[in-house]
Amino acid sequence: MNIYSNILQLDLDKRKEYYQDAVKLNTGRNCLEYVLLAKSIKKIYLPYYICDTILEPLLRNKIDYEYYSINSAFYPIEIKPVKRDEAFLYVNYFGINDKVVKYLSDHVSNLIIDNTQAFFSNPLPNIDTFYSPRKFFGVPDGGYLYTDRKLNCQFSQDISYKRMVHLIKLLDSDVKIQKNFHSDESGLSNLPIMIMSSLTQSLLSAIDYKRAEAKRKRNFSIFNELLSSKNEIHLSLKKQIPASYYPFLSTVEGLRQKLRENKIFTPTFWPNVLKRIRQGCFERTMVKNLVLLPVDQQKDIQIPELICDIILKLS
């Protein structure tokens, strides 16, 4: 920047990034690609229940893949022997499966942990782990990676300001931002591996992480306290969880629609899973009946209680 310019920058708080010693790249999926290239992986085992965007680096580098199923406790049902040039990817679903991650770290070779839904779950030693901070915070892109293998490449730095439209509009007005959101999201498709942008790093350095973690823990705990008896997913949790969502599995008819009528949006993960999984599998049940309740730090303090009230009246 020209230090003599009379144009002022955004005045952001100067705190610290949560993962300061990670490899900082432009997307979570590119963190995965980095690991696959660094370790010369030829095949990877993926859970059926996963977003199709994870396939981008595999298709780009002609890496073979095979799906596996999980059970209702989120453990893989079958783990095949993983060869030296293969990898096994596990998603820490909703940030509530640290126990499964620990189990797999002791039993699976060449394990890669997808912590895109588990920002506050610290990486285990010697386990490749990546994060996508935009799933937890208002940033346009970015990925954090922990790995013991580094690529001998010089990457250019990404530029993010064009992917900020939906975030800026949310601050400036109540106008609908879905079109901008999808446009900004599509801008992340098939990006080459790049260093995290200066803009994203600045935004991530301005976040009050203790506050965000505390609010997510509080909101998750309220949902679990009020809804656990109605939830078909048994959450045996010994501590508060700063999760991405509270996963509420229910056959209550019209629940998503009723929440929408009350201006509460609940995303569906991931409809394309239905095309590749057979009838009767837990993954199909999740796509059709799992309601992901918001626990994020930007929700008003009364929102969890309001949502629980709606659900309990329908149950």
Percentage above 90 pLDDT, the chain: 74
One DSSP character per residue, 161-199 reads GGG-HHHHHHHH-----HHHHHHHHHTTTTPPP-BPPHH
Q: Where are the domains of the chain?
A: 23-204, 209-314
- Averaged pLDDT, 290-308: 88
pLDDT reported for residue 188: 79
Beta-sheet pairing, 86-91 with 43-47: parallel
Which of 176, 308, 178 is CA-nearest to residue 255?
A: 308
Nearest to 24 by CA among 139, 209, 194: 194
Tally of CA atoms within 13 A in the half-sphere of 63 that contains its CB: 26
Lowest mean pLDDT among 133-137, 176-180, 213-217: 176-180
Average pLDDT, integer, range 271-300: 91
290 — phi, psi (to 5°)?
Answer: -80, 125
Domain 23-204: which topology? Aspartate Aminotransferase; domain 2 (3.40.640)
Mean pLDDT for 46-75 is 97
pLDDT tier at 15, thresholds 50, 70, 90:
confident
Cα maximum dimension of the chain: 66
Confidence of residue 181 (pLDDT cuts 50, 70, 90): very low
Over range 161-175, report the average pLDDT. 76
For the domain covering 209-314, report its CATH number.
Answer: 3.90.1150.10
Average pLDDT of span 25-51 = 97
